[in-house]
Structure formats: C-alpha cells, structure tokens
Amino acid sequence: MESNARELLLLVLLVKILAAASIASILARSAYFKRLLFKPVKTIKDQLIFGLWLGIPLLTGAALRVVLKYQAPELSLEGAALAGVLCGPVAGLVAGGLGAVPAMLHHEYLALPVYVSAGALGAFARQLAPDKSYIWHFSPFFDLNIYRWFRKRFGYPRGDWQMFFFVLLIVMEAGRILLGRAFPGRLFYVHSGSPPVEIAICLATIASVAMPITIWKNTRNEMLLEEQQRLLMQARLSALTAQINPHFLFNTLNSIVSLVRSDPDTARMVIFKLSNILRQLLRKNETFSPLREELAFVDDYLSIEVIRFGEQKLRIVKEIDAETLPLMVPSMLLQPIVENAIRHGLSPRVEGGVIQIRSFRQNGFLELEVRDNGVGIPPVKLKDIYGQGIGISNVQERLRVLYGSEFSMQISSPPEGGTSILIGIPLLHN
C-alpha cells in the first residue's frame, strides 16, 4: 500500500509539472501577455496586470484542489515565485495573494503569508540578478548547473545566480512542508516519509517554475528572431530605395547639363522642379504610400521630362480608376519604370512617343501598367531583362521583399515595338 501511495504521489507531481507547462503555453498565445512579459521596464501598473494574469490560473488551480481534493493543480507557491522573479514584487504579491484566496476560504490561514512571501522572495532573486537576461537561462536540468557551479565558481555570475535561485526554491518548498507539519490543516503541502520522494517533491517545485521560463524563453527567442528579420527587411528596403534615388538624380542632372547651354531658361525651370522632387524625397521615409501620392510624384518627374523633350515629342496618357487612388503601394514604385520607358523606349526615337499609365482592380489585386510605344526590347534581351539595369531589377527585388510570391510582374514587347510592364500587388488600404 505504501508503494502504491508513493507511485500515486509521483504521478501527481508529474501532472503538476505538466499543468504548469500547459498554463505557460496557453498564456504565451496571448499577444498582450507577451508584450507585458517581455517589456524591458515594467511599471507598477504592468506588475499589477501581470500578477492578475498569472494569479487567476493560480486561483483556479487552488480552487480545484480544494473542491476536488486533487493536489496536482496547486501551483500557488511556484506561480508566486515565478511572477516575482519575472516581473517584480507587486506581481509576486498579487499572484501569491490570488492563489491564497481559495485556501483561506478553506481555513488554511497560513497560505496568504507563505504565498505572498514566495512572491517577495522571487522578486528578491530578480533584484540580485546582475543581468535580467540571466532569469531566462534558468533551467530544470539542475545537474548541469551544479557542474558549472563547481567548475567555474568564480567569474561566472550567471551560474551563481541560477544556483542561488535553485536553492531558494528548495528552501521555499522545505519551509512550506515544515510549516504545514507544524500547523496541521492551516497550510497545504505535499509530504512523504520516503527521502527520495521528498527530493522529488522539491524537484517538482523547481521544474514547475523552470518549465514556464523555458517555454516563454523560446517564445522570446522567436520574437527576437522575427524582429531581427523585420529590421533586416527594412534595411534591405532602405538600401534599395537609396539605390533608386541617386539613379534618378543622376539622370535628371544629365538632362539639366544638356539644357544649360542650349536653353538656360528651361534649365532653370527643370532645376526648380527638381528641387520640389528632392524636397518630397527627403520627407518620404515610409515603405508604403497611397497611389495618389505616387502618381503625383510621377507627375513631377514627367513635368521635367516634358520640358526636356517638348510637349510635342512626349505625351502622357493616364487611365486611373478612382477607386485605386487610396490604395497603398510601395514608395517609388512607378517612377523607375516610367524613367526606363522614357530613357530606353522613347529617347532613341526622333519623334518621341507616348507614355500610358493605367491602374485598375482585378481579382483582389491592384494592377498597375506602364506602357510606351517606343523602340521595344529585342527578344534576346527580354529573356534577361530582370537582371539588367537598376530600375527594373530594383523594383522586382523590392516587390519580392515586401510581398514574397504574392505579386506578379510581366514585361512584354511585341515585334511591332513598344513595351508594357504590368504589376499586380495585393490590395492594401490605408
């Protein structure tokens, strides 16, 4: 019978650890809880809210233990210590206080001071950590920590802190057992006369704290990785945008140089319009902007080219669906394509030509087309067009970074001449 009781108690301890891991996993699914948990500096209000988040499951588990007389859901001491070490004293006190409510109603009057003390001791351990990141390295695999502690006793503050917290949890559990035995019925505790089982009880307490930390540490690592990927993508987009702007500026300055001697008045007009464009570029730091703004920017650019070419040699035709104007598009998307159409399509023609810009919605996508009636692209070059020049390759790369595979970019050039570039991107409202 005694052997069966020990086995049943060990099973209860295992269920207790699994319950702690399950609660941690459920809480980790909440975006609000994660923001609160990983906030670098936590205010009193943050600690109070965190204590409530963690205290409610502790209260529920204690209530189930009292009502069902099943020991496994009781995690009040462990949860209070966890709240204190992760968030601070207020969180530990609130979580411990909530966990003690069902016990107090069950006449276990020592529950409140013991669980509140556990929260305070957890917060004390947090204050002793030389670096708060040490907390995330606390592991249930205590044997490794002991090995490191003996091997690198000096100059290894993280190992020292982990060993301190490890021993502190054992002291908390041992103190609960001693108080429970000294005052029967006034404090819940798990006890067995077998020394190996007593050790298992203390290890279960440690594991019930370490498992949530490990689960949330993995969540933290995933969030840090996502943030690094976001920053990397933003840096890549910034580099691509910076690549477009000098390219545009260089070509425009070349146009001004060609006009300075032959037509100084026109050159002054071009410089004035270029200054307006540069002023807009300096203010434009967003990754996306409404199509309306992108078209206005293209209009400013085209006004420079119309001055250079002459209104008779360069005509602009726009077919813009009014419903597409508020939709968000990548900044500086159309200007490089229009520039390529003029430089490589229309400039070689003595008589100039027409640039047509269209926008419309189709099958859940925003379709943007830039078409010219210039010299076109030879079939040999058309095969490798995406890798040639700055404009097209840059636009395609930015679309790939922003949309992955959820975009289309088709370049066609019929034998009779002219080029069409059709881009399809997902609808994105402001």
* Domain membership flag for residue 390: yes
Q: What is the pLDDT of residue 227?
A: 73
Name the CA radius of gyration of the chain, rounded: 34
220 and 268 share a domain? no
pLDDT for 312 = 72
Asked whether residue 109 is domain-assigned, the answer is: yes
pLDDT of residue 374: 85
271 and 351, same domain (yes or no): yes
The C-alpha angle 79, 190, 93, rounded to 5 degrees, equals: 25
Q: What distance in Å separates the CA atoms of residue 344 and residue 377, rounded to the nearest whole number?
A: 9
Do the beta carbons of residue 85 and residue 165 sit within 8 Å? Answer: yes
In degrees and rounded to multiples of 5, residue 318 shows phi and psi of: -120, 135
**Residue 374, by phi and psi: left (phi above 0), alpha (psi -120 to 50) or beta?**
beta
Looking at the structure, tell me whether residues 299 and 422 fall in a common domain. yes
Can you give the residue range of the structural domain that contains 200?
Answer: 2-227
Residue 82: partners with Cβ closer than 8 Å, 6 or more residues away: 54, 95, 122, 209, 212, 213
Identify the bridge partners of residue 85 per DSSP, sorted by sequence position: none
Please check whether residue 197 is in contact with residue 9, taking contact to mean a CB–CB distance below 8 angstroms: yes
HSE at residue 376, side-chain half, CA atoms within 13 A, is: 10
The bridge status of strand 314-320 relative to strand 353-362 is parallel
Average pLDDT per block of 10 residues along the chain, 430 residues long: 73 90 92 89 92 94 90 90 94 94 93 95 91 80 50 56 89 93 90 83 92 91 76 58 62 76 81 77 71 88 77 85 91 83 79 88 92 84 65 80 86 86 85
Whether residues 338 and 191 fall in one domain: no
Distant-in-sequence contacts of 19-22, Cβ < 8 A, 24+ apart:
19/61, 19/72, 19/73, 19/75, 20/75, 20/78, 20/79, 20/207, 20/208, 20/209, 20/211, 20/212, 21/211, 21/212, 21/215
Domain end residue (candidates: 166, 199, 227): 227
Residues 275 and 221 in one domain: no
pLDDT of residue 325: 93
Out of 210, 227, 244, a domain closes at 227
Whether residue 233 lies inside any domain: the answer is no
Based on the fold, state whether residues 221 and 296 are members of the same structural domain. no
DSSP, collapsed to helix, strand or coil, labels residue 220 as: helix
- What's the token pair of residue 118? 């556990």
Q: In the chain, how many domains are there?
A: 2
Residue 248 lies in a domain: no
Residue 294 structure tokens = 């992108």
HEC letters along 299-349: HHHHHHHHHHHCCCCEEEEEEECHHHCCCEEECCCHHHHHHHHHHHHHCCC
- The pLDDT score that the predictor gives to residue 187 is 92
Q: 110 lies in a domain?
A: yes
For residues 269 and 339, state if they share a domain. Answer: yes
pLDDT at 89: 94
C-beta separation of 359 from 320 below 8 A: yes
Reading the block at residue 324, the tokens are 């597409």
In angstroms, the CA 111 to CA 100 distance is 5
End residue of a domain, out of 203, 227, 251: 227
8-state DSSP, 165: H
Q: Do both 292 and 362 map to the same domain?
A: yes
Same domain, 50 and 169: yes
- CA torsion sign for 258, 263, 266, 268 is positive
CATH number, domain at 388?
Answer: 3.30.565.10
- pLDDT at 143 (0 to 100): 47
Q: Which helix (H) or strand (E) holds 366?
A: strand 365-372
| 25 burial type by CB count under 10 A (0-12 exposed, 13-18 middle, 19+ buried) | middle
User: Is there a domain that residue 83 lies in?
Assistant: yes
Query: Strand order of the sheet with strand 419-426?
Result: 314-320, 353-362, 365-372, 419-426, 408-412
149 and 272 belong to one structural domain: no
* Residue 415 in domain: yes
- 82 within some domain: yes
| 280 and 174, same domain (yes or no) | no
Question: What is residue 71's three-state secondary structure?
Answer: coil
- Residue 113 φ then ψ, to 5°: -65, -35
Q: Please tell me the predicted confidence (pLDDT) of residue 55.
A: 93
Give the total residue count for the chain: 430
Question: Which long-range contacts does 179-183 make (Cβ < 8 Å, 24+ apart)?
Answer: 179/110, 179/114, 180/110, 183/110
Are residue 200 and residue 297 in the same domain, yes or no? no
Mean pLDDT of the chain: 83
